[in-house]
Amino acid sequence: MQFTVKTCGKDDADLIWEKAFQQYEALAPIEQGAEEAFFVWKLTDGSGRIVGGCVLNIDPLKNAELERLWVDEPYRRQGLGAALLRVAERGAWESGSHVLISDYSFDFQGVRPLFEKLGYRLLGSSPWPKGRESDCFVKQLDATPAETGCEAALARPGLRLSPGSEEDKDFLTERLEAYNSRFAPRRHPYWDLDQKAVNAADEMIAGCIAGVSGWDTLHIDEFWVDEPYWEQGVAAPLLRAVEQAARQNGAYLARLRAPDREAAFFREQGYTDYVIHACNPKLHLMQKLL
């Protein structure tokens, strides 16, 4: 069939997010009223300065992911990271999640032994950023997380644990990324590479939300093909166009997440699983050297 691959506009990108979510929802119906939620906990010192914290994301299917865990350097090796991780586990359990996953980026804080000590299992690793590795951990929350003694670290004089805001989430993200950048500097800002396929009537029939990070990695956030165009030869050329644009921008690795139905297609395009996460529906973390 005839179609053309073009760069997306903002409205196109919004529509791709919406359409992709609808197709994902069809794989695993979401309880009415269920929404994505995030929780932030911040640790402050006596002056109110944030010295640590964590961010927990829970999707509408009750899959929980630890997005951020950061402790300022003067406060490390004092049990605060373990205590924050236990807080996130309890928050996940109380929200109805029974599995907590962490696709942890750039382990320059040395948290891998911490995850393993607290019962997390290493699912897989990805060569990201170049010359380094990012690990993915998972833990089954079979019962209400018990007190382990880690929490006592939060009771130190001068420290206060409290819920955080969207701004606090951004702060924790900035501090963690600034710390990581000391070891793996960003080469450039994030470059959007959103692409769409349109038919002869200039109607969008497929789209890809993607970009190249400052660590030269192509991140494919959403990949959608309208159902009437499945198996019509649209998906592979669209993916190749995005990958080619990424290569031209210096990307060496592509990363994405895909449910079972889509994972087979990406394998045909040269992607491999580095993690298979048994959520609902099963989630594949996949990668491809460009």
- If asked whether residues 88 and 158 sit together in one domain, one would say yes
Could you report the per-residue pLDDT of 99-138, keeping only the tens digit for each? 898 887 667 777 888 899 989 998 888 888 888 888 889 8
The string of DSSP letters for 67-96 reads EEEEE-GGGTTSSHHHHHHHHHHHHHHHTT
- If asked whether residues 61 and 149 sit together in one domain, one would say yes
- If asked whether residues 272 and 217 sit together in one domain, one would say yes
- If asked whether residues 163 and 280 sit together in one domain, one would say no
- If asked whether residues 276 and 238 sit together in one domain, one would say yes
- If asked whether residues 62 and 129 sit together in one domain, one would say yes
- If asked whether residues 196 and 179 sit together in one domain, one would say no
- If asked whether residues 153 and 110 sit together in one domain, one would say yes
Domain end among 150, 183, 216: 183
Domain end among 150, 167, 183: 183
Could you report the per-residue pLDDT of 258-290, keeping only the tens digit for each? 988 889 999 999 999 988 877 766 788 999 999
**Residue span of the structural domain in which 177 resides:** 37-183
- If asked whether residues 223 and 268 sit together in one domain, one would say yes
Could you report the per-residue pLDDT of 134-184, keeping only the tens digit for each? 888 989 887 666 666 677 778 788 899 999 999 999 999 999 988 888 888
Closest CA to 285 of 230, 224, 221: 221
pLDDT of 209: 95
- If asked whether residues 195 and 163 sit together in one domain, one would say no
CATH of the domain at 97: 3.40.630.30
